[in-house]
Chains A and B, each alone.
Chain A
Amino acid sequence: MIRFMLLFSRQGKLRLQRWYISLSDKEKKKITREVTQSILARNQKASSFVEWKDLKLVYKRYASLYFCCAIEDQDNELLTLEVVHRFVELLDRYFGNVCELDIIFNFEKAYFLLDEFLMGGEIQDTSKLSVVKSIEESDMLQETMEEYMNKPTF
């Protein structure tokens, strides 16, 4: 399973964090700091996999954002790259040519989307269309009028 997923900018600012294990706030902050530092320190030529404590970090940079997943020893690193890529595709489909700003200003939507794609560190649905359909249907249920617009705002 994916233990946690972090999205952060090149300056190390956290944009999204999803923890699938129980940790105190303090521990989460410490881990976030360590992981972001260790990944930002890597150069272009390095592989996408980092051995960190007893976990494997799989990361990929998309434009200005780093997507990092921490997986367990038994998990398939190459597949995790596909999982990350699928999430990026979903974000792209939902926001229309997604960029970092979209995720900053609509962070809660990014979370809702993530929660339709992954649960408990595992994939819920392997079909892209199905996930997009689910999130669109959920959006329709929102009571506030603004929610019906394309890029909803609170």
Chain B
Amino acid sequence: MLPPLKVHELIRMIRTAKTQAQEREIIQKECADIRAAFREEDGLYRHRNVAKLLYMHMLGYPAHFGQMECLKLIASPKFTDKRIGYLGAMLLLDERQDAHLLITNSIKTDLNSSVQQIQGLALCTLGCMGSSEMCRDLASEVERLLQTSNSYIKKKAVLCAVHIIQKVPDLTEMFLPACKQLLTERNHGVLHGAVVLMMEICLCSPSVLPELRKLVPQLVQKLKNIVMSGYSPEHSVSGVSDPFLQVQILRLLRILGQNDEASSDVMNDTLAQVATNTDTNRNAGNAILYETVLTIMDIKSASGLRVLAVNILGRFLLNNDKNIRYVALTSLLKLVQTDHTAVQRHRSTIVDCLKDPDASVNRRALELSFALVNASNVRGMMKELQQFLDRCVPEIKADCTSGIFLAAEKYSPSKRWHIDTIMEVLTKAGSYVRDDAVANLIHLISSASELHAYTVQKLYSALVMDISQQPLVQVATWCIGEYGDQLLAGNCEEIQPIQVSEDDVLDILEKVLHSHMSLPATRAYALTAIMKLSTRLRENVDRVRRVVSIFGSCSDLELQQRAVEYNALFKKFDHMRMAVLEKMPLLDKVLPGPNEEEEEERSPVMESASTEEKPSGQNDTAQPSQVTDLLDLLGALDDPSPAPVPQPVTEVLPTGPALLDLLGASSKPAAAIPPLTVYNKNGLQISFTFQKPGTNPSLLNITASVTNSTAADVTDFVFQAAVPKTLQLQLQAPSGNVVQALNSSAVTQLIQILNPQKVPLKMRLRLTYSHFGGAVQEVCEVSSFPPVTWQ
């Protein structure tokens, strides 16, 4: 019988395979040979066969038939066998396999072996893959080994104890007495393990914290000794003494010093010493400084020490190494709420980080910048942020625009500046702004009545230059419709007035109407604007009539409806036209929803006053979304409704804590209803958040948020929903149809439910999307809505 293939030879053979099929062939043949050898109980070459099996396992092939062989190897007296056997156990066996318990006895025997390397193997295996049953069985053995004077065994036993406590927290008490004794060790490996053990104990059973706090002086002394000790060839890394141990001690001190004045006092001096004396030229020193800063910020430290910590972070920001800059920004973000003034001092450095070539550094810097904007620095910051908006990657643009808008809302020094800022953003990054930007801007403009002339003039000029940025076009057409008379009068005080003729105005509006770049919603805005102008213009009313009647036969349902209604306004209700189209009063800033005011004004003109449809008509201001009433609720739940046309993909990235703060200041009514996760499958998760605006008691607004935790994007995502007959549902346009991978962004969509009869809410969802190259269609029912949503 030939001896089996050597491991090297097998690896060489596999690597010569040119195709996957060839590789599989080689492996299948070898597995067959190995299986035969296992059956024949070949003890001599067992270790070789198992080693080959482990290699094939790493390539992704099944190797479960080797599990029992690993057990046999572990039981063998030969060290070579044991080594491979334990390795196999760690790679192939884990607590999910029933077989794993069988090695408990072998481990127990080996823990008592006279050969320290064998004890080491057993400890290592137990410390890596030991299940809670194994740990319970063997804990006392490990505890006994902690008493040994052999540091090789001791350091392994300590880490094994850490694992045991993680698996069986009840056993924490067992290892507590050992801690004090372990701290007196000189061996750095054992010390390091001891510190880790103490941290684990603190985590598992916080009640022992007072007990362990007594050791703080000892720990501080150890830290001091390491810092003061000179160069040691064994432990120095780039000239820094044992950074690994220093960092762990610092971390333990952080846990012990939290919320404890006494302990924090003891640490103060040494922390200051470490902070000032550590060499910052290499990564090792910076790792220690970083940990020191985290510790200072978390314990009850003196204020001088805190300033020192923030300054260290400030210096980190200027470091050439991008990793260090990244780490500094992350820490500053955590600090910005508690130590705002200290962080403000570094504002200019943070803003400079916006120019950093690394995208994650940029993102962090952006979040921090928004957190630092206040009334005194808003002008300068805005300039920087707008420059950043020009050059940042598309993924960050949405966050950036939202942040700018929020900051402008909170801190703008004047209305004109506010309007200018928003217009600037819309011109530069119009396709990335969120849906409500248009509504908010319109609201802002209408409230600044003294600036109407200025605004409409600026918007007109911007529109003439470029009609591709939809949000800007929508706002501009709305304004021209509303304030067209002021535009034509040319009476602007703020800037040089431009001369615009009625023809010019109608030209540009018609251009928008006919352009293929315009979305249907934009066209609707334009049509309405033209209509409004019929009362504001002196001549050219006929031209308006003509345009309106042409669109009476337009294929787009929304436009056709509007055109027909406006036609009717001309023909049958001409006496009402002036009244209907007069200037709008200032609207309340309310969530998009059927507005009673709007409905009243609509009713004489509308031919079909069904409340299913989106409130259209000239009073429509805040609805940049599509008419998706095609999801007919009264029909069968499986109605194949056409997908809503997506708007330009506006990414709604999760914003940092700073932005959430500003968001809280806006006038959205608080939602006290808990959110609900309605779908969670294959990495795709949809959750609903609910809001009941006060205006209509039977109205429920649901914001559906879709996230994707897999590594590949979900594309062409379409979300459809239907409700029982007695309810009415309206789906607004989604923020996009690509759900980015790894939860980096969420697609949101607003669903509005009218439930006048207060029946229990149920919903059927249909999802279609492409993922990992294949099309997916899912249907699911949701009936677990909290009662408060429909009562």
Contact = CB atoms under 8 A, between A and B. Distances in A.
A62 interface: no
A108 B59 CA distance: 14
Contacts of B284: 82
B125 to A, nearest CB: 9
Interface residues on A, range: 35 or more
A64 interface: no
Interface string B3-23: 000111001100100000000
Contacts of B287: 76, 78-79, 81-82
Interface in A127-150: 127-130, 134, 137-138, 141-144, 147
Contacts of B709: 53
A20 B130 CA distance: 10
Contacts of A120: 127-128, 159-160, 162-163, 166
B235 interface: yes
B163 A52 contact: no
Contact of B80 (A15, A47, A79, A144): A144
B523 interface: no
A78 B324 contact: yes
Given A29-B60, A119-B128, A137-B117, A125 B237 contact: no
B785 interface: no
A48 interface: yes
A125 B154 CA distance: 11
Interface string B194-221: 0010000000000000000000000000
Interface in A18-65: 20, 22-24, 29, 33-34, 37-38, 45-49, 51-53
Contacts of B80: 142-144, 147
Interface in B48-76: 48, 51, 54-55, 58-60
Contacts of A34: 710-711, 742
B188 A127 contact: yes
Contacts of A88: none
B297 to A, nearest CB: 14
B361 A141 contact: no
A82 B244 contact: yes
B79 A127 contact: no
Given A38-B742, A105-B11, A107-B55, A130 B189 contact: yes
Nearest to A29: B60
A121 to B, nearest CB: 9
A94 B54 CA distance: 22
A22 B323 contact: no
Contacts, number: 175
Interface stretch (B352-360, B484-492, B509-517): B352-360
Contacts of A81: 283, 287, 323
Chain A binding site: helix, strand, loop or mixed by DSSP? mixed
B322 A78 contact: no
A138 B83 contact: yes
Contacts of B162: 120, 122
A77 B6 CA distance: 40
Contacts of B11: 104-105
A43 to B, nearest CB: 9
A76 B286 CA distance: 11
A154 B283 contact: no
Nearest to B79: A141
B156 interface: yes
A33 B683 CA distance: 14
Contacts of A107: 54-55, 58
B742 A119 contact: no
Contact of B6 (A49, A127, A153): A153
Contact of B237 (A17, A47, A82): A82
A34 B709 CA distance: 10
Contact of B360 (A33, A37, A46, A129): A46
B530 interface: no
Contacts of A48: 323
B107 to A, nearest CB: 14
Nearest to A53: B709
Contacts of B58: 14-17, 107
B44 to A, nearest CB: 10
B450 interface: no
Contacts of B182: none
B498 interface: no
Given A77-B323, A154-B7, A126 B51 contact: no
Contact of A124 (B193, B247, B322, B323): B193
Contacts of B152: 134
B54 A47 contact: no
Nearest to A107: B55
B408 to A, nearest CB: 29
Contacts of B79: 138, 141-143
Given A77-B323, A143-B80, A33 B127 contact: no
A124 B244 contact: no
Contact of B159 (A83, A105, A119, A143): A119
A141 B159 contact: no
B612 interface: no
A123 interface: yes
A119 B189 CA distance: 12
B29 interface: no
B96 A22 contact: yes
21 contacts: A20-B128, A29-B60, A38-B711, A45-B357, A53-B709, A76-B247, A76-B251, A81-B283, A82-B244, A108-B7, A119-B159, A120-B128, A122-B159, A125-B189, A126-B242, A138-B83, A141-B79, A141-B115, A153-B6, A153-B8, A154-B6
Given A22-B95, A137-B117, 11 more contacts: A22-B94, A45-B358, A47-B360, A53-B743, A105-B12, A119-B127, A122-B159, A122-B192, A138-B79, A154-B6, A154-B8
Ranked 6 nearest A-B pairs via Cβ: A125-B189, A78-B287, A34-B711, A154-B7, A79-B287, A141-B79
